[in-house]
Chains A and B, each alone.
Chain A
């Protein structure tokens, strides 16, 4: 699935895929929606960014059916690797 994960998104509405924002097209002043190019592995796709107004180029977002629904927090992204040490589960 890894690199080609985005390909299944056209078929399956509910798979949220993380991708990196490569560019942002601010059309808001012309009454349009905030859109941008998002990279999924080696693939690139135009995505609506209206729901992640604070996202900038280089941020990762989760995309569902052409819409970024959340900006991923890099600091929080690490906690899955430190959790067991933090709760002492590795020393039990």
Chain B
């Protein structure tokens, strides 16, 4: 048992598709929150198996896509400094800032390194005490516990040359922003299973009640997604609006207590700007208390650095589920993964990149 392949069984998938077809009597729109789910839905063609009237809307759960251009520009400014080793997850390197991306900085001689884990950056800081090592701490609640642990370990080991450029974002406030939008199109949510594995399910219950919306914590394999869709549709057809857990093999209702303890010790909840969407109250994390000394924005005085989006990029509407990628005039023409106008075309989790890769062109999507 590998806990992967068995969740891709075609016969079981067909049974789910049939059950979903039988369950649907009215048009419904479901949003899968996580970009990893968007990619799986398109990769396995699940979007094409669903009955007419059941629409999947792609959510904002792509950390690369929503990291604001201001932070990208600050990353570029810091990474260009000669004393800095700038460490990042690989998928941030091609995200366009106002003018450049991190790859360009690297090609001009900046010391930009791809790491697999924040702990790798910590190791580099220990080995190179004469350099300033900065880790680009982006992502949702899934990467925040690891980045928090890096901060704890940096202080415990007394590393003076390690800092974090933090742009963490939180999923539930973004879901609420989508629900409050005047053009709300979402009838139900497939919540991001791995975010729920860390945070638990409690924070979704007020959303389900207040906005009368079913929320199903859902996994990432085809059968997970099909079961999540079935559970969500069943709630809608029954007139229920509850928090359910499809992904019980990974998600406990209380989340991961060990991770939450460190997360809340290191980070505090702050307002954050989301690329393409704008500022959302209480939607991000920043270093708190004694950990604030590890804040790279303060250490390198980049407070004044800001950015400007390409006026042609409509990723904000894509991230809010208001525009299908293939309906953007620039899609596939002036905006491709090789020459992206916005971050949604860069990331492997971005909806525009997924549509491009799996050939969901206009009309075919």
A residues whose Cβ falls under 8 Å from a Cβ of B: 1-2, 5, 8-16, 18, 20, 31, 33, 41, 45, 48, 50-53, 60, 62, 64-67, 69-70, 72-74, 76-77, 79-81, 83-84, 87, 89-90, 92
Contact = CB atoms under 8 A, between A and B. Distances in A.
> For the side of the interface on B, what is the size category?
35 or more
A80 B224 contact: yes
A18 B2 contact: yes
B146 A14 contact: no
A62 B143 CA distance: 12
B194 A62 contact: yes
Nearest to A67: B146
A16 B142 contact: yes
A13 B4 contact: no
Contacts of A81: 6, 12, 223
A72 B219 CA distance: 12
Given A52-B258, A65-B116, A74-B249, 20 more contacts: A2-B2, A2-B8, A12-B90, A13-B89, A13-B91, A14-B35, A14-B36, A16-B220, A51-B256, A62-B250, A66-B146, A67-B117, A69-B197, A69-B259, A70-B250, A73-B249, A79-B249, A80-B7, A80-B224, A89-B19
B34 to A, nearest CB: 7
A70 B116 contact: no
Contact of B120 (A64, A66, A89, A90): A66
Contacts of A31: 156
Interface of B: 1-8, 12, 15-16, 19, 22-23, 34-36, 43, 61-64, 89-91, 114, 116-120, 138-140, 142-143, 145-146, 149, 153, 156, 194, 197-198, 220, 223-224, 227, 230, 234, 246, 248-252, 256, 258-259, 262, 347-349
Contacts of B63: 13-14
